[in-house]
Amino acid sequence: MNHAVVCFLIFLVNIYLVTTLEDQQHWKNLGIEDIEAALKQQQNIGLAKNVILFIGDGMGPTTTTAARIYSNSEKHYLSFEKFPNVGVLKTYSADQLVPDSCSTATALFCGVKANVKTSGVDATVKYGDCAASLNKEAQLDSLISWAQAAGKRTGFVTTTRVTHATPSALYAHSPNRNWECESKMSPNASQCKDIARQLIEDLPGRNINVIMGGGRQCLVSDVTGTSDDPIDTWSCFSRDGRNLIEDWKISKSKSGVSHAVVANNNDLNTLKLNTEYVLGIFANGHLKMNHERNPAPHGMPSLTNMTEKAILLLQNNRNGFFLMVEGGMIDFAHHRGHARQALSETVEFSNAVQKAVELTKKVSYETLIIVTADHSHSLVFTGSAKRSVSILGADEKSEIDNIPYTTLLYGTGGGNNYQFEVVDNTMKRRNPQLDDTISYDYSQQAAVLVDEVKHSGTDVIIYAVGPMAHLFHNVHEQTYVAYVISYAAKIGPFAGNGGENVSFVKYLLISVIIINCFVSKILRE
């Protein structure tokens, strides 16, 4: 059967589904089902013993919409899109309308707005100001610090370097996100520690139970690249002779705690779940995209693999745990204009959320799961595409230049090979139908040419389920997230505040159960 016949049959099936199954009764039934589900929804005002915060880096509303369609269809839902509580977050930084990942991470994790390119410090610290970042009053405590003070186990998982922008705000106080290791630091910053050293040597970094991601070249000087795991030329590459991984192992041995360093899938899969401290460094730079990673024993784990193992390691603690999970390569793909890669990473991010939901199902009443993004991207979903065509297709023509354009475009982007071509000695926008727009490596065309796709200042969506999830209910400042977690888990600013109410409700319920049992016994007699 040739390609044209297959396409025609698919078209007929789509027409049938739309015209036959999606009649008036279909939409009426769907509306009734949604109303019934909404009416059954009850607020959980209990204590959040466990908190899992998922950050889709660069996962703006357009990305989630396109990923939903890419993964199945427009009628589909990503795992977190069915969470009962949804709100909106404003993402501007202290000094810019359009933020970066470490300023937004500082807002999310510390509850205070920061300047762009600074991490774990307040807005009194300007970019690159080492002296200002050493001021203790300017250094911010994070959710990790709050959770550790409450006796919770803590961890973070990322597909980026463990010293990268988002995770750094959990444990570091840096005026420059690029100071991941010493080789990127300026001569006048000798009094400041790089981010990698803060993770391994300082609090709260050295007390984090589970650390998983990439960034070996920031932690160890004498590393070499391979075809499967090259040196990241965009990143910091330590040259001072350090081996912070070995230093971490020595520190844990002296403390007498069980610990393990894991470097590939086999290490992760065979890891004992009673290990108290785990340092998983799976790449020199960022981890591979999920579609290109090697799933073999010597390869790199997926975000879902790491999330599953992290939860299993952290959950055996009577005080509960806090875990941050970052899908960092969504942003990486967007910056290069690779829409399919970004959608694929978003689907894997959704899979990781689903795995977390499954693993905490038995304790869902005391587990708060939050899913959001740090910032958006300039991905555009436009035109009048038919429901029967691919979200990655180019099915329409511009009325101006009469050249087709893809359904997904970028507001800004690099001058890639798919942008322009010379026709009859005239520079014209290239016809995307000449290229494989469904390829992972295809770069969508952009309205304005810049060095790479820029972030967007558009609000992002936040999804939540579990104790106090209903507190996300309208448009919020991004800093609000830290305080909801603080209040729900009774850590940080709200430590001990309101816990007595939770205890009262618990004792009241126990009393009611005992009385009911007593009354039932009397009635039986």
Helices (H) and strands (E) in the chain, counts: 16, 19
* DSSP helix/strand/coil, 163: coil
* 435 annotated ligand-binding residue: no
Is residue 334 within 8 Å of 288, Cβ to Cβ?
Answer: no
What distance in Å separates the CA atoms of residue 407 and residue 410, rounded to the nearest whole number? 10
* 23 annotated ligand-binding residue: no
* 57 annotated ligand-binding residue: yes
* 346 annotated ligand-binding residue: no
* 455 annotated ligand-binding residue: yes
Catalytic residues: 101
* Tokens 């007390």, residue located: 207
Q: How many CB atoms lie under 10 A from the CB of residue 355? A: 19
Half-sphere exposure of 165 (CA within 13 A, CB side): 29
What distance in Å separates the CA atoms of residue 102 and residue 197, rounded to the nearest whole number? 17
Sign, CA dihedral 26-30-31-33, equals positive
* DSSP helix/strand/coil, 53: strand
* 26 annotated ligand-binding residue: no
* 451 annotated ligand-binding residue: no
- The two tokens of residue 319 are 């005080």
Where does residue 245 fall: left (phi above 0), alpha (psi -120 to 50 degrees), or beta otherwise?
A: alpha
* 286 annotated ligand-binding residue: no
- The two tokens of residue 391 are 């979200």
* 291 annotated ligand-binding residue: no
Half-sphere exposure of 523 (CA within 13 A, CB side): 6
What distance in Å separates the CA atoms of residue 144 and residue 147, rounded to the nearest whole number? 5
What DSSP assignment string belongs to 316-327?
A: --TT-EEEEEEE
Binding residue numbers: 57, 164, 166, 326, 331, 335, 374-375, 455
Binding residue numbers for Mg(2+): 57, 164, 166, 326
Binding residue numbers for Zn(2+): 57, 331, 335, 374-375, 455
